[in-house]
């Protein structure tokens, strides 16, 4: 199979028929064999019945139905795991992404990339509580991760099969897919795509997600830079704290022993001791992290590298 479309669906009843229609119109001239994988993420608005009847009409539509709402990231992960195509496309189920962009994404992918990420140049969402927070998030993500894009939040993306299957998605990490793919060594490029205002149904997100982005950034940065060497991060903080605390207490000790200075009313003593104690804890935390990293990789027989090809 050439192509799998992966579409998370949560209460999009009125969008599903027109979406399927537009997908088929966009792909009919390409001669690709394809499947459309829709993940019903615990919809309560009758989306499930509509998907069932659409599936009955066209077996190219596969439906994965979650038992409850697990979130967009989980839906994408389920779709990627299920997909059979050589190329996997993710897009939103609310008609904000345009299926007509799919052939262009695939063409770009075939220029030798592993991931083509959509860039909603003319984003059709409210400025104040959607585009502005998202701009801040984009700026933060590109500052922190090594993959520099304009628009991380666009679901419309094209993946080479192996990359999509290798991605480990947790929580609300779908916004960090380019960064996670970058860690795997994927060649990533951005392509301007169309974006339409939401006509039917409502958006599932509020302002809170910008806050989550900040916390997720710590996770992504840690995983990409220190997951296999946590003691370098914690150990460095720990060593610094122990050395500083050691110097302070040494200084105070000399003052006490040789000059008879009273230490009872010296707040600096408290700081020195605190630094030593937290420093030791940081170092040991790093060691525990090292053990966890080994358990993580060895229990799943998951190597710390990913070979692209072997020439023998």
Closest to ligand UDP by CB, 97 vs 249, is 97
Closest to ligand UDP by CB, 204 vs 266, is 204
Q: 74 touches which of Mg ion, ligand UDP, none (CB within 5 to 8 A by kind)?
A: none
Count of residues for the chain?
312
Q: Does residue 134 belong to the site contacting Mg ion (CB under 5 A)?
A: no
| 106 phi and psi angles, rounded to 5 deg | -65, -40
- Which residues in 187-206 contact Mg ion (CB under 5 A)? none
Q: How many residues bind ligand UDP (CB under 6 A)?
A: 16
State the burial class of residue 293 (Cβ atoms within 10 Å of its Cβ: 0-12, 13-18, 19+): middle
Site string for ligand UDP, 2-41 (x = CB under 6 A): ------xxx-x----------------------------x
Integer Cα distance of 8 and 94 in angstroms? 9
- The secondary structure of the chain in percent helix, strand, coil, rounded to multiples of 5, reads 55, 10, 35
Q: Does residue 96 belong to the site contacting Mg ion (CB under 5 A)?
A: yes
The residue range among 46-54, 67-75, 93-101, 163-171 that interacts with Mg ion, by the rule CB under 5 A, is 93-101
**Cβ-proximal residues to 45 (8 Å cutoff; 6+ apart), any chain:** 11, 12, 13
CA 195 to chain centre: 21
CB atoms within 10 A of CB 153: 21
Q: Does residue 72 belong to the site contacting ligand UDP (CB under 6 A)?
A: yes
Q: 41 touches which of ligand UDP, Mg ion, none (CB within 5 to 8 A by kind)?
A: ligand UDP
Among 35, 92, 183, 216, binds ligand UDP (CB under 6 A): 92
Among residues 43, 72, 74, 217, the alpha carbon closest in space to that of 142 is found at: 217
Q: Does residue 183 belong to the site contacting ligand UDP (CB under 6 A)?
A: no
Closest to Mg ion by CB, 17 vs 168, is 17
β-bridge pairing 87-90 and 157-160: antiparallel
List residues binding ligand UDP (CB under 6 A).
8-10, 12, 41, 69, 71-72, 75, 92-94, 96, 203-205
């Amino acid at each position: 199979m050439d192509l799998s479309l992966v579409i998370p669906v949560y209460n999009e009843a009125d969008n599903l028929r027109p979406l399927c229609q537009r997908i088929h119109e966009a792909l009919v001239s390409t001669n690709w064999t394809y499947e459309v994988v829709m993940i019903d993420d615990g919809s309560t608005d009758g989306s499930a019945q509509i998907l069932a009847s659409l599936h009955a009409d066209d077996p190219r539509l596969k439906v994965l139905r979650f038992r409850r709402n697990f979130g967009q990231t989980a839906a994408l992960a389920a779709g990627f795991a299920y997909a059979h195509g050589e190329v996997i496309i993710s897009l939103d189920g609310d008609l904000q992404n345009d299926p007509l962009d799919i052939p262009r994404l695939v063409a770009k992918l075939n220029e030798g990339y592993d991931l083509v990420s959509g860039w909603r140049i003319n984003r059709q969402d409210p400025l104040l509580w959607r585009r502005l927070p998202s701009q801040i998030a984009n700026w933060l993500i590109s500052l922190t991760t090594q993959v520099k894009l304009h628009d991380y939040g666009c679901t419309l993306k094209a993946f080479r099969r192996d990359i999509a299957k290798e991605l480990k998605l947790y929580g609300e990490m779908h916004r960090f897919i380019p960064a996670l793919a970058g860690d795997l060594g994927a060649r990533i490029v951005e392509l301007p795509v169309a974006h339409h205002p939401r006509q039917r149904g409502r958006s599932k997100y509020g302002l809170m997600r910008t806050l989550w982005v900040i916390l997720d950034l710590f996770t992504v940065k840690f995983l990409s830079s220190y997951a296999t060497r946590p003691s370098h991060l914690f150990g460095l903080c720990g060593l610094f704290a122990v050395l500083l605390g050691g110097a302070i207490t040494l200084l105070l000790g000399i003052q006490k022993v040789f000059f008879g200075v009273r230490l009872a009313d010296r707040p600096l003593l408290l700081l020195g001791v605190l630094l030593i104690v937290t420093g030791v804890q940081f170092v040991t935390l790093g060691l525990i992290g090292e053990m966890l990293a080994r358990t993580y990789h060895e229990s799943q027989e998951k190597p710390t590298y990913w070979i692209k090809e072997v020439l023998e």
